[in-house]
Amino acid sequence: MFERLWEPIENVQDYLDRISCGPSEEIRQDRECLDRLIRNHQIFVPFENLDIYDLDRDVSLNIGDIYEKVVARGRGGFCFELNALFQKLLEQLGFETKACMGRIVRGKDYMPQPLHRVLLVKLEEGWHFCDVGYGGPMPAGALLLSDGSRQRVKDTWFRVRQISHHEWEISREKEDGEEGLVRFTEQEQYPMDFVAPSFFCCKHPDSYFRARRIVNRCLADGNMRLWDDTVTIEKDGKTEQVVFKDGEELREGLRKYFGIHILTEFSKN
């Protein structure tokens, strides 16, 4: 029953085509290729919770089901889907990886539940933090786990700190100071370990993902996000907002801005 959580990706090349990364034989197990895979994934595959918030569909963590949703149907997903599928892609491309459990600490003045799937990738320099399923200000490339290091990815500086022997925190620098993003442990987790936290995110009435519609994707020179009925586009230092008045405008906006095609009616506007 649960063996499908471990199954291989059906077609690696189709997945690479989905994120515009070229032939699989050209992918090397190095930092340059890893950064390109991460960045392109963030650009071409949106973070979204439409199945949870709008469509009331069960979210499967089976690799084949996630592949069908993301690659075949051009949808996105949340961390338990996207980081799982991306990890499987990297493994089949020859990278050494492990999944860990994390906590999203951004904007919180308390220690939240561990409800984030974290992906670590080992390169020659050591283990690197990689994330294609955060839906917020995550680095557009890999971060080396080096205590106290300050690392720049594109135009943003990030800080990596070892909180304890087994726990790390990633933060980003802003004009008004540092902002914590995620805390995680290095203890390896297995596909079954994410079933319960994913179920909580999908079904519990207090889940963040059941409270609002969220769609987010990176742009080559900015960011685009949908919160409930409003799209905010940040590009070239300028900000533009578009408000959808009804379900029909929402469907058209999802197609236009995020490449997501939804045919069913939306129960919430």
Share above pLDDT 70 across residues of the chain, in percent, rounded to a whole number: 98
Each residue's pLDDT, cut to its tens digit, for the chain (269 residues) gives 688 998 999 999 999 999 999 899 899 999 999 999 999 999 999 999 999 999 999 999 999 999 999 999 999 999 999 999 999 999 999 999 999 999 999 988 888 999 999 999 999 999 999 999 997 778 999 999 999 999 999 889 999 999 998 899 999 998 888 999 999 999 999 999 999 999 999 999 999 999 999 999 999 888 999 999 999 999 888 999 999 999 999 999 999 999 999 877 665 55
pLDDT score of 71: 98
Domain assignment present for 112: yes
- What whole-number distance in Å separates Cα of residue 259 and Cα of residue 244? 16
pLDDT score of 109: 84
Number of domains in the chain: 1
Is the CB of residue 84 less than 8 Å from the CB of residue 164?
Answer: no
Domain assignment present for 266: no
pLDDT (tens digit per residue) in 129-146: 999 999 777 899 999 999
Domain assignment present for 263: no
Domain assignment present for 169: yes
pLDDT score of 269: 54
Q: Is the dihedral of CA 9, 14, 18, 22 positive or negative?
A: positive
Q: Which of 191, 201, 197, 233 is nearest to 215 (CA)?
A: 233
Domain assignment present for 124: yes
Domain assignment present for 268: no
pLDDT score of 1: 65
* Domain ranges, residue 58: 3-258
CATH code: domain of residue 139: 3.30.2140.20
Domain assignment present for 264: no
Query: Alpha helix (H) ranges present in the chain?
Result: 12-18, 31-44, 50-53, 63-67, 79-92, 195-203, 247-258
Domain assignment present for 86: yes
Q: How many residues does the chain have?
A: 269
User: Residue 218's CB: how many other CB atoms inside 10 A?
Assistant: 23
